[in-house]
Amino acid sequence: MDKALLSVLTGRTPGRRPIWMMRQAGRYLPEYRKLRAEVGSFLELCYTPELACEVTLQPLRRFDLDAAILFADILLIPQAMGLDLSFREGEGPVLGTVRDMGGVDALDGGDSVLDRLAPVMDTVGRVAAKLDDHVTLIGFCGAPWTVASYMIEGGSSPDRRTARLAAARGDDWFEALIDRLVSCSVDYLSSQIAAGAEVVQIFDSWAGDLAAAEFERWSVAPVARMVAMLKERHPGVPVIGFPRAAGLGYEGFARRTGVDAVGVDASVPPRWLGDVLSREAVVQGNIDPVVLIAGGEALDRAVDRLTEAVPACRHILNLGHGIVPQTPIAHVERMVARVRHNDGRDASES
């Protein structure tokens, strides 16, 4: 079997429609919860290559997926730049803050950042050595805007108001912070590729926060700079961009940033993905994680609409956002089986 994900991303006809799920390694899996309870902390898991490798592989043992995604977090970069990071039970991440030029200047850069992230590269190498031939290894980082928003807010926040204000004003320190994140993130992805990542994804989870002009300046432009640098260093390595909740901003995003594929959230109609977006880029998405919890007929219909609307050679089937802890494993099995069934039927009809 070919590597279906890599085939789609490089313009070849895949042996089948590739499937993976954002956050596919995580708390909906009992084997993840068990290991996580033994280790005690999420960050300990991320920084222990043997365990991070094990967790990365867990979903692949259960489901017939086409990609593994490195087990790590987008907030490891700000931590490696010198900010304190912890994950409190039920509260999400708590991160040191940057809110002025002094804060930006105090951040570490260059080799010391990569040195602290060395265990992640170790994990990538271990996973690469263990994957089945048809499975593609995805590396990732957060996009500058999304990571900056956590650095400015000091963790999760209801509406990211302080970060959005800095973006709207175009403060000098905010621009300097974005620039620092562009260069650190490119070095980080580049190291992941050197260690064995075959595709990289840039998560701009909060792209939908930005008004149209700010979206261009703080999501599209920094991602475009990252892609240009990555393509220069690693010409053949595909990049997936995920400007979540970008709305009309999805159109032209691939053209303006140079990404090979665009991840879309569940609000976007499959018809539009098939008729419009998939003509300009490979499309990744966009089953609603809540529909995956619902399962049954609702899930079947959602899968059918998507596989009917978007051709397999231009599609990476995924969720519109990360899978959530209460998702029944049987529903994931049902989704994967349904996709395979639908595509098999199409293939035998043509």
Name the CA radius of gyration of the chain, rounded: 19
334 close to 297: Cβ distance less than 8 angstroms: no
Active site residue 161: no
250 lies in the site for ligand CP3, by CB under 6 A:
no
Q: 167-226: which residues touch ligand CP3 (CB under 6 A)?
A: 203, 205
* CB 205 to ligand CP3: min, Å: 3
d(Cα 102, Cα 83) in Å, to the nearest integer? Answer: 13
What is the crossing angle of helices 172-195 and 118-130, to 10°? 40
Active site residue 150: yes
74 lies in the site for ligand CP3, by CB under 6 A:
yes
27 lies in the site for ligand CP3, by CB under 6 A:
yes
136 lies in the site for ligand CP3, by CB under 6 A:
no
Catalytic residue among 73, 187, 265, 343: 73
73 lies in the site for ligand CP3, by CB under 6 A:
yes
Nearest to 46 by CA among 70, 82, 15, 81: 70
Active site residue 2: no
Interface residue with ligand CP3 among 9, 53, 58, 71 (CB under 6 A) is: 71
320 lies in the site for ligand CP3, by CB under 6 A:
no
* CB 26 to ligand CP3: min, Å: 4
Active site residue 27: yes
Nearest to 16 by CA among 277, 238, 315, 276: 315
271 close to 306: Cβ distance less than 8 angstroms: no
Active site residue 88: no
Interface residue with ligand CP3 among 14, 18, 26, 241 (CB under 6 A) is: 26
The number of beta carbons lying within 10 Å of the beta carbon of residue 324 is 15
Interface residue with ligand CP3 among 36, 134, 314, 315 (CB under 6 A) is: 36
322 lies in the site for ligand CP3, by CB under 6 A:
yes
* CB 23 to ligand CP3: min, Å: 4
C-beta closer to ligand CP3: residue 246 or 342: 246
Which long-range contacts does 25-33 make (Cβ < 8 Å, 24+ apart)? 25/55, 25/56, 25/58, 25/59, 25/69, 25/71, 26/322, 26/323, 26/325, 27/325, 28/323, 28/324, 28/325, 28/326, 28/327, 28/328, 28/329, 28/332, 29/58, 29/59, 29/62, 29/329, 31/58, 32/58
128 close to 52: Cβ distance less than 8 angstroms: no
C-beta closer to ligand CP3: residue 48 or 276: 48
* CB 92 to ligand CP3: min, Å: 4
Catalytic residue among 16, 17, 32, 36: 36
Residues that bind ligand CP3 in the complex, under the rule CB under 6 A: 22-27, 36, 42, 69, 71-75, 87, 92-93, 140, 142, 156, 203, 205, 322
